[in-house]
Amino acid sequence: MRDSIRLIRESKGYSQEWVAKKLDLTQQAYSAIEHDPENAKLSRLKGIAKILGVSLTQLVIADELNYQLKKNANTKDINPMSAILFCIEFEKSIFIKGLSEIESQMNKIKKDA
């Protein structure tokens, strides 16, 4: 997750100092989270995701997608916004599938009633 936090933050033009201030942290404390997010509290990661304008899921998936793309394409960094757009489409498909299942169950209940 470390790469995605940094890449998304930089793509938005945010400094570590600015994000830290929004989180009511020192720049050093925020930097420690960005360099080792696996040890950060979930509430902190949610706050970072909110400030960066992405979901926590997108933050996690973007990092994994970036890793896989770098591994397969032998490139430095992939545009983080492309990874975020992929995540949004993925979340959307899950949501739509869930709605379809709910609608199907509701129709069955109506039919049985």
55-100 pLDDT per residue, tens: 888 777 776 666 666 666 655 555 666 666 776 777 777 777 777 7
pLDDT given for residue 20 in this prediction: 96
Residue ranges of domains in the chain, CATH in brackets: 2-112 (1.10.260.40)
pLDDT at 6 over 80: yes
Measured torsion, CA atoms of residues 73, 61, 10, 42, in degrees rounded to the nearest 10: -150
Rounded to an integer, what distance in angstroms lies between the CA atom of residue 103 and that of residue 61? 28
DSSP E strands: which ranges in 1-112? none
